Structure 1
Amino acid sequence: MLRHIVMIAFSDKKKAKAYSAQLKEMLIGLKSSISTLNKIEVGLNFSVRPAAHDIVLIADFDDENGLNLYREHPEHIKVLDFLKGKLEKSAVVDYYI
């Protein structure tokens, strides 16, 4: 099983909560659209520390092929389009569990 973790910080801090809520809905909705997505969890950050991100995605797949199909899926591409021009920073970790 492969775990995919993405942390995102939005550049517009005044809109970060609204963006995070909208993004969470979009991400949770991927579960019904992408068959290779076994499990998804999305958390909204409450920390005010400078190194903090606004939202985290944790998603599980059977293998790298499943992750790649997710990345290329049209519904996931819509999420990427939503994020364009809104990011301050992001971090990604993919590992086997």
Structure 2
Amino acid sequence: MIKHIVFWKLKEHAEGGDRAANALKMKQLLDSCAKLLPGMLTFEVALAQPGLEASYDVVLYSEFADKATLDAYQDHPDHIAIKPFIVAVREARQCMDYAA
């Protein structure tokens, strides 16, 4: 199994929206990718919650059956289609993939 975890810090304003609006839109876009392929075992998108410590705005926690499934997700047209928005609104990104 491969775990794929990504954190995004968003710009204050981008693509006509503020940080909060863009975080919600980003979550909706990512959630639309949750069941793209067999072998996607877990796919959870969360937003930073007021009152709880967070240095990033959006997190994706996902588990894939194997590296081939993760690679297929990365190359899936629906995933590729949401990337321009994410790139436009993000200030920073951190990612880690690891075998579990």
Q: TM-score, normalised by structure 1?
A: 0.85
Distance 1:75 1:37 in 2: 14
Report which stretch shifted further, 28-37 or 67-76: 28-37
Q: 1-side partners of 2:26 and 2:97: how far apart?
A: 20
**CA deviation after TM superposition for structure 1 residue 47, in Å:** 5.6
Could you say which residue in structure 2 is the equivalent of 1:67? 70
Shift of the 48–77 alpha-carbon distance from structure 1 to 2, 3 Å rule, reads: farther
Structure 1: any 5+ residue segments left out of the alignment?
A: none
Give the partner amino acid of 1:9.
Answer: K
Report the secondary structure of 2:46's partner residue: strand
1:86 paired residue number: 89
CA distance in 2, matches of 1:95, 1:54: 22
Q: How many aligned residue pairs are there?
A: 96
Establish whether residue 11 from structure 1 lines up as the match of residue 14 from structure 2: no
Cα-Cα RMSD:
2.1
Structure 2 Cα separation of the partners of residues 28 and 93 of structure 1: 19
Moved over 4 A (4+): none
Q: Which moved more, 1:38-47 or 1:72-81?
A: 38-47
Q: Identity of paired residues, percent?
A: 27
